[in-house]
């Protein structure tokens, strides 16, 4: 995902700290991650769920994107839970 600027919500910073996910991990995921879900109707901007592997660790990054300014706003970051996500962490279990 191309982001000329990356901003972090207060929630994202808090969760990243709790979950030991660094700013570098998030930036790596933005560049190298796989887009797994698009939420086109989110406001104020569409948001995107990305999956990336930092080393062997899977992480999900939820980011909003202001397409006009190519600005990404990180909403949250977490390690997907195997009890919630299918193998590969791309689909939620039903």
Residue 23, domain member (yes or no): yes
Average pLDDT over residues 42-70: 96
Note down the domain range covering 21: 5-78
Residue 93, domain member (yes or no): no
pLDDT at residue 28, rounded to an integer: 96
The helix/strand/coil state of 64 is strand
Average pLDDT over residues 22-49: 96
* Interatomic CA distance for residues 43 and 22, integer angstroms: 26
CATH of the domain at 67: 3.30.2310
Residue 42, domain member (yes or no): yes
pLDDT at residue 13, rounded to an integer: 97
pLDDT at residue 7, rounded to an integer: 97
Domains of the chain: total = 1
Binned at pLDDT 50, 70 and 90, residue 63 comes out as: very high
Residue 87, domain member (yes or no): no
Residue 92, domain member (yes or no): no
Residue 83, domain member (yes or no): no
pTM: 0.93
Residue 52, domain member (yes or no): yes
The helix/strand/coil state of 16 is helix
pLDDT at residue 94, rounded to an integer: 87
């Amino acid at each position: 995902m191309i982001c000329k600027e990356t901003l972090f919500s207060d929630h994202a910073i808090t969760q990243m700290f709790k979950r030991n996910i660094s700013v570098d991990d998030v930036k790596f995921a933005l560049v190298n991650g796989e887009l797994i879900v698009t939420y086109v109707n989110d406001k104020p901007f569409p948001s995107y769920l990305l999956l990336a592997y930092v080393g062997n660790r899977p992480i999900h990054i939820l980011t909003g994107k202001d397409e006009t300014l190519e600005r990404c706003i990180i909403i949250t970051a977490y390690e997907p839970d195997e009890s919630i996500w299918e193998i590969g962490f791309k689909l939620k279990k039903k």
